[in-house]
C-alpha cells in the first residue's frame, strides 16, 4: 500500500514486490534515485525512460499484433502490470483503443476470458462463498473504493450468458471510468457475481474458470444479491454501484429494489436511454421535426428498449405532450411482434408502451397475428427507428427503405453490441436511404462516404454518458442517482453536438473528446442532483471545481521509501 502526500507518494514495497504492484509500478521510468532507494538496480535495464517514451514503445508494440483479440490481451496484461502507463496510452489514443478496451472487442474478450485470465483483477463472488462476502470486501486493499461495476454475466452485450467470462465487462467499463471520466483506478472495483451459467459451452469447457454449476435463480439468487448489496453498503456507505449486463428479468427488478438504498444505476437501462435521447435531441436540430411530433419504433422491448422509450417519453412531456399523448408515440416490437393490449406475459416495465388495438384498426398488415417491424414502419410511419434487439440484420432493406420513404431525414439507430449483432450496417443504411439518414450505431464502424467525402459514423454508445454520470455523482457525493440526472446528462450531450452549428456535421462529438464530454455531463448531472436536494454539503459554486479535482490525469510522481 502507498500513501500520497503533496507531490510524492510513500511505500514500504521494494524490489520485485514494488514492480509487481500495478498501481505503483513505473517500469523503466523509475529514476536513478528511486532505483537506489527501492533496490531496483539489476531488476530493470539501465535506461530511464519518460512516460511519453513508454507510451510510444507500447503503442508500437500494440500495432504489431495481427488481431484485435491479441491487442485486447496485450492491453489487459499492461493494465495488470502498470496502470499509469496503461491509462496514459488509453487517454492519448482514445479513438484507436476504445474499440479494443471496450466494444466490440471486449465481447470476444469475455468469450475467451478463461484462456486469457492471467492475474486477479476485481472480485469473483460466488454462491458457495456467500457467507464470506463481508470478509472478502474487508481487505485493506479496498479501502479507497468509490465506484463498483457489477455483473452476473447472464446477458453480455448481445452474446448472452458468458458466466464468469462476463468479468471482462466490469473491467472494461471501469477502464472507461478512468480513461474518460478521470476516476483514479485505485478507487474502482470490478465485481463478477458468479451464480453459475446456463451456457453449455462454458460448462463443458475443462478450462472454464467459473463456478461449474447451472445458473441459480429464484429466491436463492435474490438472497445472494441481497447479501452482496448489504455487504457493499456496510463497507462503503457512499459508493457508486453500476449494474451491468443483467438479464431482462433481473435488470429492472434489481434497479427498482435497490435504487433508494444506495447510489446506484443500471447502465443498460438508464445509460443507453440517455445516449439515445441525447442523440435524438441532437438530431432534431437537423431534421427540424420537433420532439412533440416524433414517432419512435423500437426493436427490442426489453429493459434497454423500454428504458430508452421511458426517457424519450419524459422528454416529450417536458416539451409539452401529456403522458397519454407521449405514450401513444411509441411502437415497441419484441419477439412476439408489436406490444398490444391483451398480450400476456408482459413485464411491468413494458406495460406503459402497449398500443391500443383501436389505434391500429385501419393498418394494412401482412401478418395480422404477429405485427412485425416492417408492418409497423409502413403503417405507423415512425420518424425514429431504434434497435436494441441483438439481431444482426433485423433492419432489412425493405424496412430501411420504408423509413426513407416516410421521412426526409429518417433517424436510424441500430445500437446492439457487439458489431456482429448490429441490426444494420451504416453503409447499408446510407445506401438504402440515398444518404439522407441520421445514423447512430452502438459499436464503431469504418467511415462511410457522404457527399464524396469520408464521414465518421456516430458511435451512439453509453461511453458518452456513464463516465460523466459517475464522475458527477461522486464529485458531489449525491445520495442517489435520479431519472432527472440522466435527463440532464442527455441534454448535456445534445448541447455538445457538432450538428448544432452545422447540420452536415456529426450528431455527437468525436470519441477523442470523450474526456471533455464526461466533464460537461458530470457538471449537468451534479447541478441536477443539487437542484433535487440529493447533495447536502456542497455549495453550487463549488461543483465545477470539485469535478475537476476528481479527474485524475495519468502521470508518475516521485516515491519515498518508508520503513
Nearest to 387 by CA among 416, 410, 366, 358: 416
Strand partners, 124: 192
Is 464 designated active site?
Answer: no
102-261: CATH, from 3.40.50.300, 3.40.630.30, 3.40.50.10380, 3.50.50.60: 3.40.50.10380
On whether the pTM is more than 0.85, the answer is yes
**Hey, what long-range contacts does 136-140 have (CB within 8 A, 24 or more apart)?**
137/231, 137/232, 137/235, 138/235, 140/1
Distance from chain centroid for Cα 534: 24
CB of 166 within 8 A of CB of 156?
Answer: yes
For the chain, how far is it from start to end, CA to CA, in angstroms? Answer: 13
CB of 248 within 8 A of CB of 303?
Answer: yes
Strand, helix or coil for residue 337 = strand
In the chain, domain spans: 102-261, 266-544
- Residues near 336 by beta carbon (within 8 Å), at least 6 away in sequence: 343, 370
Instruction: Report d(CA 18, CA 40) in Å as an integer.
Output: 9
Q: What is the 3-state secondary structure (H, E, C) of 195-258?
A: CCCCCHHHHHCCCCCCCCCCCCCHHHHHHHHHHHHHHHHHHCCCCEEEECCCCHHHHHHHHHHH
For 266-544, give the CATH class.
alpha beta
Which of 26, 72, 87, 173 is the catalytic position? 173
Which of 72, 102, 177, 556 is the catalytic position? 102
pLDDT tens series, the chain, 563 aa: 455 545 889 999 999 999 999 999 999 999 999 999 999 999 999 999 999 999 999 999 999 999 999 999 999 999 999 999 999 999 999 999 999 999 999 999 999 999 999 998 999 999 999 999 999 999 999 999 999 999 999 999 889 999 999 999 999 999 999 999 999 999 999 999 999 999 999 999 999 999 999 999 999 999 999 999 999 999 999 999 999 999 988 999 999 999 999 999 999 999 999 999 999 999 999 999 999 999 999 999 999 999 999 999 999 999 999 999 999 999 999 999 999 998 999 999 999 999 998 889 899 998 888 999 999 999 999 999 999 999 999 999 999 999 999 999 999 999 998 888 999 999 999 999 999 999 999 989 999 999 889 999 999 999 999 999 999 999 999 999 999 999 999 999 999 999 999 999 999 999 999 999 999 999 999 999 999 999 989 999 999 999 999 999 999 999 999 97
Instruction: Report d(CA 309, CA 26) in Å as an integer.
Output: 47
The cell for 413 is 439507430
The enclosing H or E element of 418 equals none
Q: What is the pLDDT of residue 3?
A: 54
Is 177 designated active site?
Answer: no
Q: How many CA atoms lie within 13 A of 359 on its CB side?
A: 16
Instruction: Report d(CA 44, CA 53) in Å as an integer.
Output: 16
The cell for 546 is 470539485
**Beta-carbon neighbour count of residue 454 at 10 Å?**
9
> What count of residues does the chain have?
563
Q: What is the pLDDT of residue 5?
A: 47
Amino acid at each position: 500500500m502507498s500513501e500520497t502526500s503533496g507531490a510524492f507518494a510513500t511505500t514500504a514495497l521494494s524490489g520485485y514486490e514494488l514492480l509487481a504492484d500495478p498501481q505503483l509500478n513505473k517500469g523503466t521510468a523509475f529514476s536513478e534515485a528511486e532505483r537506489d532507494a527501492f533496490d531496483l538496480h539489476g531488476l530493470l535495464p539501465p535506461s530511464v525512460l519518460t512516460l511519453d517514451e513508454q507510451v510510444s514503445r507500447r503503442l508500437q508494440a500494440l500495432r504489431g499484433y495481427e488481431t484485435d483479440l491479441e491487442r485486447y490481451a496485450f492491453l489487459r496484461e499492461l493494465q495488470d502490470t502498470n496502470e499509469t502507463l496503461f491509462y496514459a496510452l488509453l487517454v492519448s489514443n482514445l479513438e484507436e483503443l476504445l474499440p479494443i478496451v471496450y466494444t466490440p472487442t471486449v465481447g470476444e474478450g469475455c468469450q475467451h476470458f478463461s484462456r486469457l485470465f492471467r492475474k486477479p483483477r476485481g472480485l469473483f463472488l460466488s454462491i458457495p462463498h456467500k457467507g464470506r462476502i463481508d470478509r472478502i470486501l474487508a481487505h485493506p486493499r479496498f479501502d479507497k473504493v468509490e465506484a463498483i461495476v457489477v455483473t452476473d454475466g447472464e446477458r453480455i452485450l448481445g452474446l448472452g450468458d458468458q458466466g464468469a467470462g462476463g468479468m471482462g465487462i466490469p473491467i472494461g467499463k471501469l477502464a472507461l471510468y478512468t480513461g474518460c471520466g478521470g476516476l483514479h483506478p485505485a478507487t474502482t472495483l470490478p465485481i463478477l457475481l458468479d451464480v453459475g451459467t446456463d451456457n453449455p459451452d462454458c460448462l463443458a469447457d475443462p478450462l472454464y474458470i467459473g463456478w461449474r454449476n447451472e445458473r441459480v435463480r429464484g429466491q436463492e439468487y435474490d438472497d445472494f444479491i441481497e447479501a452482496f448489496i448489504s455487504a457493499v453498503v456496510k463497507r462503503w456507505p457512499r459508493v457508486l454501484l453500476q449494474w451491468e449486463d443483467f438479464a431482462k428479468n433481473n435488470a429492472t427488478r434489481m434497479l427498482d429494489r435497490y435504487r433508494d438504498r444506495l447510489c446506484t444505476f443500471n447502465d443498460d437501462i438508464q445509460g443507453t436511454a440517455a445516449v439515445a435521447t441525447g442523440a435524438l435531441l441532437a438530431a432534431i436540430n437537423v431534421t427540424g421535426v420537433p420532439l412533440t411530433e416524433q414517432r419512435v419504433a423500437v426493436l427490442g422491448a426489453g429493459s434497454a428498449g423500454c428504458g430508452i422509450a421511458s426517457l424519450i417519453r419524459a422528454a416529450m412531456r417536458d416539451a409539452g405532450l401529456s403522458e397519454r399523448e407521449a405514450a401513444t408515440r411509441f411502437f415497441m416490437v419484441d419477439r412476439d411482434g408489436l406490444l398490444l393490449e391483451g398480450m400476456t406475459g408482459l413485464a411491468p416495465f413494458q406495460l406503459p408502451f402497449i398500443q391500443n388495438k383501436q389505434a391500429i384498426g385501419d393498418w394494412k398488415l401482412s401478418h395480422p397475428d404477429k405485427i412485425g417491424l416492417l408492418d409497423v414502419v409502413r403503417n405507423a410511419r415512425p420518424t425514429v427507428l431504434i434497435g436494441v434487439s441483438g439481431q444482426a440484420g433485423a433492419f432489412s432493406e425493405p424496412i430501411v427503405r420504408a423509413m426513407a420513404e416516410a421521412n426526409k431525414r429518417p433517424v436510424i439507430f441500430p445500437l446492439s453490441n457487439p458489431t456482429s449483432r448490429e441490426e444494420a450496417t451504416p453503409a447499408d443504411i446510407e445506401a438504402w436511404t440515398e444518404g439522407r439518414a441520421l445514423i447512430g450505431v452502438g459499436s464503431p464502424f469504418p467511415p462511410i462516404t457522404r457527399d464524396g467525402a469520408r464521414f465518421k459514423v456516430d458511435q451512439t454508445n453509453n461511453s458518452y454518458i456513464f463516465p460523466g454520470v459517475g464522475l458527477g455523482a461522486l464529485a458531489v457525493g449525491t445520495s442517489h442517482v435520479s431519472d432527472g440526472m440522466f435527463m440532464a446528462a442527455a441534454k448535456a450531450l445534445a448541447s455538445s453536438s457538432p450538428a448544432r452549428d452545422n447540420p452536415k456535421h456529426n450528431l455527437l462529438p468525436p470519441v477523442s473528446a470523450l474526456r471533455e464530454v464526461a466533464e460537461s455531463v458530470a457538471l449537468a448531472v451534479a447541478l441536477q442532483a443539487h437542484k433535487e436536494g440529493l447533495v447536502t454539503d456542497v455549495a453550487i459554486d463549488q461543483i465545477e471545481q470539485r469535478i475537476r479535482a476528481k479527474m485524475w490525469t495519468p502521470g508518475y510522481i516521485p516515491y519515498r521509501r518508508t520503513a
